């Protein structure tokens, strides 16, 4: 059938839930020798939810390998790419960040990629400029917020300007930007925190207070 690649023999769509349950049970079995073959057989399943479950099952069993994870990061479905990104950290298989996913067409993938980037401090030199671009220019506010959080987690000097700029964004992003200033120092940071004490959103003000900012008239 046109459009089918590896799964002409897959059961009907209604059976996808059962295939997913089979994979999940294999991952929770605690038996790598029995569960791993089952999970691997479903890595190329026609349904994204089954493919994502297969990745998770292999991770649970301790048999998820870097080449498998790298392939999943390029999966055609965003749900699988998101799961693979999560497992980059969870399975300890992320020595370097797949920077291309910071420019993924799906914003939900970009959001998770930002979180992964914030966990990979050793890759900060490679990711900081892409994160700064997302923080300042991405159409999706959740992506901007995630990028700001990642910049704060990394604390890379090249990310400071983007964090300061985010203090003019939406309230939830301004709050995140205040928290992201924690690893930075300098007069610009002090001034930004003092301005945040007068923000119109109480959560932004509270975040600035939590970081020890002192407003006008403080002792």
Q: What is the rounded CA–CA span in Å between residue 51 and residue 23?
A: 9
Predicted confidence at residue 8, as pLDDT, reads 46
Using an 8 Å Cβ cutoff, are 52 and 78 in contact? no
Looking at the whole model, is its pTM more than 0.75?
Answer: yes
Fold of 127-219: 1.25.10
Predicted confidence (pLDDT) at residue 95 exceeds the cutoff of 80: no
Give the closest residue to 188 by CA, choosing from 161, 210, 151.
Answer: 161
Compute the distance between CA of residue 103 and CA of residue 119 in angstroms, rounded to an integer. 18
Band (110; pLDDT cuts 50, 70, 90): very high
> Above 60 in pLDDT, residue 39?
yes
90-116 CB burial, b ≥16 within 10 A, e <16 = ebebbeebbeebbebeebebbbbbbbb
Quick check: 110 and 101 in contact, CB under 8 A? yes
Q: Mind listing the pLDDT tens digit for each residue in 129-168?
A: 999 999 999 999 999 999 999 999 999 999 999 999 999 9
Give the per-residue pLDDT at 219.
42
Backbone angles phi, psi at 42, to 5 degrees: -100, 5
């Amino acid at each position: 059938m046109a459009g089918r690649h590896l799964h002409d023999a897959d059961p009907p769509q209604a059976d996808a839930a059962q295939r997913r349950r089979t994979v999940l049970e294999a991952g929770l079995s605690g038996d790598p020798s029995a569960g791993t073959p089952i999970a691997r057989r479903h890595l190329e399943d026609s349904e994204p939810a089954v493919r994502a479950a297969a990745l998770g099952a292999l991770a649970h069993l301790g048999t998820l390998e870097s080449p498998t994870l790298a392939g999943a990061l390029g999966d055609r479905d965003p749900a699988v790419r998101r799961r693979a990104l999560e497992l980059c950290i969870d399975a300890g298989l992320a020595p370097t960040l797949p920077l291309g996913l910071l420019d993924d067409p799906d914003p939900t993938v970009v959001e998770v990629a930002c979180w992964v980037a914030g966990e990979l401090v050793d890759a900060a030199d490679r990711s900081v400029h892409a994160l700064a671009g997302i923080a300042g220019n991405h159409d999706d506010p959740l992506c901007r917020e995630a990028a700001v959080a990642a910049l704060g987690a990394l604390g890379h000097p090249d990310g400071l300007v983007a964090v300061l700029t985010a203090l003019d964004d939406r309230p939830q992003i301004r709050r995140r930007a205040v928290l992201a200033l924690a690893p930075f120092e300098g007069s610009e940071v002090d001034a930004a925190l003092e301005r945040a004490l007068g923000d119109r959103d109480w959560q932004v003000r509270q975040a600035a207070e939590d970081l020890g900012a002192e407003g006008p008239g403080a002792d």
